[in-house]
Chains A and B, each alone.
Chain A
Amino acid sequence: MTGLSALVRRVTWPSVAAHKGRSLLTLAGIAIGVGVFLAVRLANVSITEAFATSLDLFAGSAQLTVSRPGFGLDETLLPLIEADPAVARAEPQVVGTLVTADPAREILLVYGIDVLRSRPTTASIDAAGGDGEDQGFLGEDDALLVTRRFAQGRGLRVGDRLEVLAGSRRASLRIRGLLVPAEAEGERGGSASGFLERTVAVMDLAAAQPLLDRVGRLDAVALTLREGADADAVRARLTAALPDGVVVDRPIERSGQVDQMLDAFRLNLTILSLIALLVGVLLVYNTLTFSVVQRRREIGILRAIGVSRRGVEAAFLAEGVAYGAAGGLLGVLLGLALAKGTLGAMARTVSVLYLHAPVERLRVDAGDLLLGLAVGVLVSAAAAFAPARAAAGVPPREPIALGAARSDTGRAGRRRARRLALAGLAILTFAGLLAALPPWHGRPLGGYGAAFVVLVAALLVAPVLVLAVGRAARPLVGRLGGPAARLAADHFVQGLRRNAATVAALSVSLAMLVSVWIMVSAFRATVEAWIAQSVRADLVVTPAARLGGSREASLPAGVVERIRALPGVAEVDAFRGADVRYEGSPIVLGSGDLALQLRRGRLPFMAGTPADVLDEVVARRGALVSESFARRFDRWVGSTITLDLPAGRRSYPVVGVFYDYTTDRGLVVLDAATYVADTGRRDVQSAAVYLEPGADLEGARRSLESLFGPDAAVAVVSNRELRARVLDIFDQTFAITFALELIAVVVSAIAVVNTLVASTIERQAELGILRAIGLGRADIGRLVRAEAGLIAGAASLLGVVVGIALSLILVFVINRQAFGWTIQYHLPPEALATAAALAVGTALVAATWPARRAAAQPIAQAVRYE
């Protein structure tokens, strides 16, 4: 080891120290890669844990939970549950969301509990809160407990009022106590978390049920079992004793359901984050390769004085590991900052798409940070492997005439490049095979594998591309830019290995950007066309709380009849829906007036004409399923689906499969009459209003808005606004994706700077001689910029081609398998052009500093460098 440390001290360190700028850039690349990877992981974990702790708030010690997904548990079952001899405590709760009525529109996650039997397990109640004496709030319909931080943040005190939107109503609640994390109080044992998300709130069940529209129903009953009870036996007993559709599970499985729901979403982000890491790897490879080339002479001398091959290899590996460790450390810090910054955006996306995520605090444990560091070290070590091997291959005392610069574009180099390219093309068939694989446990692993193989192929093809571009560019740039540019083209080819790595790094990130761009743009166009076709109503009436992010809000009773009676209204369709389970997985069950759809709408079907399908669904009491449902469960027209509904177990023939992009969980639609009969639920989540021909839209909107009285919180949205809103949500969803892509581009820009700086240093002597024989400073600058332009050109070419290939995988394999929807593929030319321009622009900006540096070098010093 002393040998190695001496080597590192004498060989590695001076090189690192001598090229501070390049070393820093390499570090930055790794740091960004590790940072993005860690940030995505932390945000994912935080969202999962936020659900877990919010489940803990009132069921921290519960071993089992009884619930009735979609429709709520009939509360009269509680005595039966409580009577089980193994049940020590049965704690009923409803959980819903309220939205603050102020413009901030904060979503409160409200737990309605029986305050006589339940106490928060992770919080204590500070009822005094400053003024006023301790008074029980039992029996007050407006009593609300909020977290102390929520109250402080809004300047609220105990006794103050808080205006909220509850479903389609406006309600004025009174803060009757503050929730304080148990830890701070040091009582009730305080679970590990001891943390309260700021926006949780508590009410008594009697007050919460009418407010959250849950009268007669419970969302969960948390069961604490007696010591020694066999939870599985209790579960089996209760499942047998309770009606079909009631689910008895362990709390961990409930957060498991959340995990399952978010799985595709999170996997996607994780894979994207790995791209940034991959670019970081290429950067390390780039730096070390250059370092080896530059120090061949030194290495030869070292070998001559007795340092073993293994010793040389170890020294370069150590350099890679050192970059990895330092970059990983920086990356961990960056990851923490990034995760803090993006958590809110991710939580919002999850809330909009899946279920309310009360996420606010970043959960960090040492394991995650160590993982980030380890990932940094491992990928850098892996990236250092090939250069280290190359260094070890340098023979002792190699006679070196011209110091650093060595061209590897000799015949051997060219042959090697061609072989690599052939290998790259060969593995593309493997990518094709992977893409054809079915999903694995609902995950499009084959698709991700195919995408990875395509990227590897791109790396393998890069050297040949560099040769080809260099050769092709030489006469062309010569004509345009004179001798300096021709020199650039030569040099571009000469630094094959390094430039190939740079081109590869830039093209990989460009390819990802291009592919996601194509996919998102095609997806957006598909959704836009779909919504234009499927949403035909002039106005949509929906609870304001729903627009504020509350997923379960309903409209006031009798709303459809009242709207229908308004002048100018031709027809009204009521949409109902519930989150239910099918074969144990969460899906959405919905209903509408399908006869009306037949007259008015043009539901886009995958098969069959809408008229036939809709006729059949009404006549046969059948079900329509969304494409995502059909794909996920493999239920197509002709099959039968069975659901446990409040009226009992019901089977429906699938009579149509329609395109839908509202949920990747899968959507089953019944006719309104069937839905109401089989679920017993009449509450309407939104209503679509069709006006008489020629009716005044704004007039109709005003009369709808005043229909529900001053206490109502009902939003009336026009067709155009609704479409805009859907696209807004769409854009918001993909904002994170784009951010990750841009970060990858930034990392590759660093790679370009790195390469160019290295290149100018490497050629200082040459540049000095060029200056000496009469080239101006401007010429030198142009030369460096031209080389940058060639790198960018090659990368754009490769990036766009690979990007298109990846986009096909994303659209036809990954999205279809993970989310189950069909995207109408098309190539947006502006995306391709912008990506290419971005690459060239990035390279030219990146070249500025190296160009200036090269040009500013005094001739004498440059020559002396030799």
Chain B
Amino acid sequence: MSKLVVGALLPLLAAGSVLAAPFVYRQALPGYRFEFPRDHASHEAFRTEWWYYTGNLTAEGGRRFGFQVTFFRVGLRDRVNPDNPSRWRPDNVYFAHLAVTDIGEGRFRYWHRTSRAGPGLAGAASDRYAVFIGDWRAWLEGGVHRLSLAVPADRVGQPAEVRLDLALEPTKPPVVHGRDGVSQKAAGLGRASHYYSLTRLAVTGTLGLDGRDLSVDGLAWMDHEFGSNQLGEDQVGWDWLSLQLSDGSELMLYRLRLKGGGVEPASSGTVVRPDGSSRHLVLADFRMTPEGTWTSRASGGTYPVRWRIEVPSERIALTVEPALEDQELRTEGSTGVTYWEGAVVARGENGGRPVDGRGYLELTGYARPFDTDI
């Protein structure tokens, strides 16, 4: 989801458009018809877009990992001079975040990259799903999502710190969030995005850690969202949660926090049933209650990393615990945003039956929310 991560970039990259450029970004408006696989690809008509993979993996021997792979695109076509012939013309700026949580070892590591398209340095195709920055890539191959990312060691000759080579196969069709093709983020037309998820991806592949290649499998979640100016002015942060439950259903919830402590009325969620059918949840349908915090020594931010989740109408009641407390990303030099994004475990009931589950929690706006560094 991570809209604030990108939102933080907007004042930075897109403010103060000096040129009266003819290019106007398209608004996310009701009536949008998703079509796949076309809509996996990049939507250059919209200003911001991201592809977001989070998942929980198990290696042979039972060692558990969480991973996050995100590609962002921020469009600047309404401020660049379209007559500039340079390949470096920043029509788009691409960001990528990679995080791996070694749950058993209690170790969280993350990396990030930033680039414009330039002469083949980064990009996101519009006619097929293929995004990349350098050798970090995500693409679609015969209905299977592929991720390939590597972080070389500081020293030459040493094995890569991390190497991620994953095949992610959807086991359910895409779920479109919101109503009528739009996920509303604030009051007002266009204060919205087009947002869908692949809520249950079966993952197989290799996770290389400091030279040891581990065969892994598990479940992942993919979000793809695009829009142009969905952020409300008074929104200060964001709590987003995705869970894959042991009974074959999934749950996604998000809360937009307002200045002064309130919650954006447009906050919403989605329940996905084992058969793939889904139900849109409005704010009144669910409750997210913080039950414990963790304070980052590095940023000073205090994050509510433990939650109680209730969707009374679905008879869902869950407690959510982080797989590891410190899963904070500080991305000075790329998006410049500091946020918490990490693997979680859930336990409780769904439809009255006991379930457990795994998922990812994203908490933004708790530490230096708009730290700009470019």
Contact = CB atoms under 8 A, between A and B. Distances in A.
A141 B18 CA distance: 10
Given A138-B90, A206-B86, A78 B120 contact: yes
Contact of B156 (A135, A136, A209, A229): A229
B12 A136 contact: yes
Contacts of B19: 140
B80 interface: yes
B67 to A, nearest CB: 23
A215 interface: yes
Given A210-B86, A225-B156, A227-B156, A134 B372 contact: yes
Contacts of A86: 156
14 contacts: A79-B120, A79-B121, A85-B156, A134-B372, A139-B13, A139-B79, A140-B19, A204-B88, A207-B86, A210-B84, A215-B86, A216-B87, A226-B154, A227-B155
B201 to A, nearest CB: 29
B118 A141 contact: no
Contacts of B81: 141
B89 interface: yes
Interface string B109-123: 000001110111100
A205 interface: yes
Contacts of B119: 75-76, 78-79
B149 to A, nearest CB: 15
B361 to A, nearest CB: 29
A136 B17 CA distance: 10
B135 interface: yes
Contacts of B155: 226-228
**Minimum-distance CB pairs A-B, first 4:** A206-B88, A209-B86, A205-B88, A227-B155
B137 to A, nearest CB: 13
A116 B93 contact: yes
Contacts of A227: 154-156
Nearest to A214: B86
A115 interface: yes
User: Taking each of A141, A204, A228, A230, which has the highest tally of chain B beta carbons within 10 Å of its own beta carbon?
Assistant: A141
B90 A78 contact: no
Given A136-B374, A204-B90, A227-B155, 6 more contacts: A79-B119, A135-B16, A138-B93, A139-B89, A204-B88, A228-B157
A136 to B, nearest CB: 5
B352 interface: no
Nearest to B93: A116
Interface in B69-87: 76, 79-81, 84-87
B114 A117 contact: yes
B374 A116 contact: yes
Interface in B140-164: 152-157
A436 interface: no
Nearest to A216: B87
A219 B115 CA distance: 20
B15 interface: yes
Interface of A: 75-76, 78-79, 82-83, 85-86, 88, 92, 114-117, 134-136, 138-141, 174, 204-207, 209-210, 215-216, 225-230
Contacts of A216: 86-87
A135 B119 CA distance: 26
Contact of B86 (A76, A79, A134, A205): A205
A209 B118 CA distance: 12
Interface residues of B, number: 36
A83 B87 contact: no
Given A134-B372, A141-B81, A204-B88, A226 B115 contact: no
B134 interface: yes
B156 A115 contact: no
Contacts of B88: 114, 204-206, 209
User: Taking each of A92, A117, A206, which has the highest tally of chain B beta carbons within 10 Å of its own beta carbon?
Assistant: A206
Contacts of A135: 11-12, 15-16
A140 B15 CA distance: 11
Contacts of B87: 75, 216
Contacts of A117: 114-115
B106 to A, nearest CB: 27
A116 B11 CA distance: 16
User: Taking each of A79, A83, A138, A216, which has the highest tally of chain B beta carbons within 10 Å of its own beta carbon?
Assistant: A138
User: Taking each of A76, A115, A205, which has the highest tally of chain B beta carbons within 10 Å of its own beta carbon?
Assistant: A205
A338 to B, nearest CB: 45
A226 B156 contact: yes
B370 to A, nearest CB: 11
A228 B86 contact: no
Nearest to B76: A139
A92 B86 CA distance: 14
B120 A76 contact: yes
Nearest to B21: A139
Contacts of A205: 86, 88
B116 A116 contact: yes
B6 to A, nearest CB: 14
User: Taking each of A82, A136, A216, which has the highest tally of chain B beta carbons within 10 Å of its own beta carbon?
Assistant: A136
Given A136-B13, A139-B90, A210-B85, A116 B156 contact: no
Contact of B152 (A85, A136, A209, A230): A85
A88 B116 CA distance: 18
Given A78-B120, A135-B15, A206 B89 contact: yes
B253 to A, nearest CB: 33
Contacts of A206: 80, 84, 86, 88-90, 116
Given A138-B93, A139-B90, A206-B88, A116 B154 contact: no
B35 to A, nearest CB: 31
B89 to A, nearest CB: 5
Contacts of A209: 86, 88
A174 B19 CA distance: 13
Contacts of A75: 87, 118-119
Contact of B374 (A76, A85, A138, A207): A138
A111 to B, nearest CB: 14
Contacts of B11: 135
A138 B120 contact: no
Nearest to B77: A139
Given A136-B12, A226-B153, A114 B374 contact: no
Nearest to A226: B156
A358 B76 CA distance: 34
Contacts of B116: 114, 116, 206
A690 to B, nearest CB: 34
Contacts of B154: 88, 226-227
Interface in B306-358: none
Contacts of A136: 12-13, 15, 374
Nearest to B334: A116
A744 B266 CA distance: 87
Given A136-B12, A138-B13, A205-B88, A82 B121 contact: yes
Contacts of B84: 141, 206-207, 210
Nearest to B13: A136
A11 B93 CA distance: 82
User: Taking each of A116, A141, A174, which has the highest tally of chain B beta carbons within 10 Å of its own beta carbon?
Assistant: A116
Given A75-B119, A115-B374, A83 B90 contact: no
A200 to B, nearest CB: 20
A627 to B, nearest CB: 41
A144 to B, nearest CB: 13
Contacts of A138: 13, 76, 90, 93, 374
Contacts of A88: 152, 154
Contacts of B153: 226
Given A209-B86, A227-B154, A227-B155, A140 B18 contact: yes
A117 B113 CA distance: 9
B222 to A, nearest CB: 26
B262 to A, nearest CB: 27
Contacts of A230: 156
Nearest to B18: A140
A88 B152 CA distance: 9
Interface in B163-206: none
